[in-house]
């Protein structure tokens, strides 16, 4: 019989539809056509003039901005969803409706010059370089009074909304704290009040003890399939020890974080033949007064199903794979 | 510059990304392959034995259940997300996690024997027959103490999650009130407390007065593109006069409701070459004690974009078409 499972943080319910459950390997993707590196890709080396001028880049000594010789580039999004990062939000009413300027930032982090290898197939060193750029750009924006939250995301594959195949990440600085974060913060605070504990720490303890949803662990990070997984092969990566702010990650942790990203995305890629996915980092809002209560983490949502009328109209996801079978399958994939 | 617009009911924010805004006609779909009616379609006439036994059907006199001769059939979903509709929910904890049985109902309403014509291209009479079935099945389940909410939806097109092309609707009876409904109810109650008015009635008044987001109206229903449209060509259909419960619709209103569905879906189909969409009816929960405060309505979300990492991680949708341009375009399509 189908089961309704509840996420203990944000409180959402998920149907684990065992009646329509599929075996993990049935989610394996058909081979797909890849775009070619080179002339038409604005993120490939040599095409630097096809993007706006770079904000920062990690470069070989002697190379000059907006020219070849880089390991990683950050450029403003050509069609920003948020921006600029200064001015007045001008919140006002239009009749009965509230509106404001979508000030903020929207940057593209080009993960490397390689057109094909992404976070799951680059070297751990290169992934650590990408994480370094995440932190650097986070720090560059976090004190801007306009920016209330910084969301770092990865879209991989066309079905997951990636408009470019060349591996890249995006950083959004928003002038409000997004609803998803507000919900998780509220849930975290409530759990703290009730039990005196961090809900994410409690979850880590439980998952490490049970083990049947664990996917990967190293000295500083643990990855598992959450009990109330919304989609097949949903994965979370949490710092093993309580940590509220992503941007304070030190060099050693950054390397171990890169290792965990590389491992779980590599398993996904190899296990299911490079499926599309969305990934985001959830951390404490900028200028947070309460501080310390939240536990930053990564959520990875493979795009192997479609949120249809029921999901959109109810907010309840129907998941046709159990997290336990997904974790078992991913554990069996060597990295 | 991009704008952040807020929905006045549930309170969600939407980015109207004018920088990346597209002209309405650019959303026109490429021609697609259609599946064939007949042997392989379990919803076609003559294949009644391919579905579970029908729950109800509207039939020609003299025809027998689960055989040809029907105008509309309702069958249980072969792989229900919710069910059965009796027994114990058995809510309990698994370690720190809450879980219960997903009791309820999950039915498929086969809109008619025609494999190709859907709500936008069937006759208004046939659409009114579909609405009649919605009401009849709603009433059949609403007093079941297990069922707290009944959600009626339509998925049209593969990209919108429709697993069958043959036009059909689905009815879900859920053992809890979905979060989306809780949010809208809370917003409706808050607005009522603040202003003494129904927020949907206020919105209708404003939209009818302004006119630039109106798409269609008749004596009993008004369709418009909401100010905080989450996706290109989002459309809402509201009863013109306050009405909290969908299922009390009378025969005349049912016909006018069918006319409005037929009109807006026909415009969408003709204007954009049959795009995929999701549709759902939001109404007052079953066994609602407060009663009367909510205003039932339909929300239609064409699937012309992908909710990617930013949207999933924030809950903020980025919409690349303004509702004003979408409404203008749809108004220009004759029906």
What's the pLDDT tens digit per position in A28-69?
999 888 888 888 899 999 999 999 999 999 999 999 999 999
Residue A185 has pLDDT above 90, yes or no: yes
Q: Mark which residues 18-77 of B lie under 8 Å from A by CB.
A: 19-20
Q: Are B311 and B63 in contact (CB under 8 A)?
A: no
pLDDT band for position A18 (cuts 50, 70, 90): confident
Residue B206 gets the label, from left (phi > 0), alpha (psi -120 to 50) or beta, of alpha
- Give CA–CA dist A70/A64, Å, rounded: 9
Within 10 angstroms of residue A118's Cβ, the number of other Cβ atoms is: 27
Residues B115, B166, B168, B295: which is the catalytic one?
A: B168
% residues pLDDT > 90 (chain A): 91
**Rounded distance between C-alpha atoms, residue A150 and residue A280, angstroms:** 11
Is the pLDDT assigned to residue A20 strictly greater than 80? no
pLDDT over 70 (residue A315) = yes
Of A226, A82, A52, A65, nearest to B314 by C-alpha is A82
What pLDDT is recorded for position B53?
98
Whether residue A8 lies within 8 A of chain B, CB to CB, comes out as: yes
B160 at the A interface (CB within 8 A)? yes
CA atoms of A119 and A201, how far apart (whole Å)? 26
Q: Is A168 a catalytic residue?
A: yes
Write down the pLDDT at residue B18: 73
Q: State yes or no: pLDDT of A212 exceeds 70.
A: yes
Low-confidence stretches of chain B (pLDDT < 70) are: 19, 289-291
- Quick one: pLDDT at residue B291? 66
Are residues A95 and B176, on separate chains, in Cβ contact within 8 Å? no
pLDDT at B281: 98
pLDDT at A290: 65
Classified as helix, coil or strand, B332 is coil
pLDDT tens string A111-143: 999 999 999 999 999 999 999 999 999 999 999
Residue of B nearest to A320 (CA): B81
- Distances in Å between the alpha carbon of B147 and those of A6, B134, B168? 18, 16, 22
- Nearest CA of chain A to the CA of B120: how many Å? 17
Band the pLDDT of A291: cuts 50, 70, 90: low
Q: Is the pTM of this model over 0.90?
A: yes
């Amino acid at each position: 019989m189908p089961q309704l499972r509840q996420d203990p943080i944000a409180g959402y319910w998920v149907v684990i539809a065992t009646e329509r459950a599929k075996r993990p390997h049935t989610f394996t993707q058909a081979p797909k056509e890849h775009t070619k590196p080179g002339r038409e890709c604005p993120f490939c080396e040599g095409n630097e003039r096809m993007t706006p001028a770079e904000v920062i880049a990690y470069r070989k000594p002697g190379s000059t901005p907006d020219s070849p010789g880089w390991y990683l580039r950050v450029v403003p999004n050509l069609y920003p969803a948020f921006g600029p990062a200064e001015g007045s939000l001008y919140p006002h009413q239009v009749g009965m409706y509230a509106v404001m300027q979508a000030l903020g930032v929207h940057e593209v982090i080009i993960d490397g010059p390689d057109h094909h290898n992404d976070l799951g197939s680059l070297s751990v060193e290169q992934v650590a370089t990408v994480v370094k750029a995440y932190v650097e750009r986070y720090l560059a924006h976090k004190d801007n009074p306009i920016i209330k939250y910084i969301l770092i995301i990865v879209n991989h594959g066309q079905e997951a909304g990636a408009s470019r195949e060349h591996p890249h990440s995006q950083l959004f600085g928003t002038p409000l704290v997004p609803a998803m974060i507000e919900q998780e913060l509220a849930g975290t605070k409530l759990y703290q009040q009730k039990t005196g504990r961090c809900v994410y720490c409690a979850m880590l303890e439980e998952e490490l003890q049970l083990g049947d949803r664990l996917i990967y662990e190293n000295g500083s990070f643990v990855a598992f399939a959450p009990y109330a997984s919304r989609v097949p092969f949903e994965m979370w990566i949490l710092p093993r020890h309580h940590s509220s702010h992503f941007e304070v990650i030190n060099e050693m942790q950054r390397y171990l974080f890169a290792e965990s990203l590389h491992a779980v995305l590599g398993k996904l890629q190899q296990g299911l033949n490079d499926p599309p996915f969305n990934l985001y980092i959830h951390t404490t809002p900028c200028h947070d007064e309460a501080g310390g209560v939240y536990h930053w983490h990564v959520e990875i949502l493979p795009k192997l199903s479609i949120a249809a009328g029921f999901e959109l109209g109810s907010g309840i996801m129907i998941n046709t794979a159990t997290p336990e079978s997904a974790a078992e399958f991913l554990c069996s994939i060597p990295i």
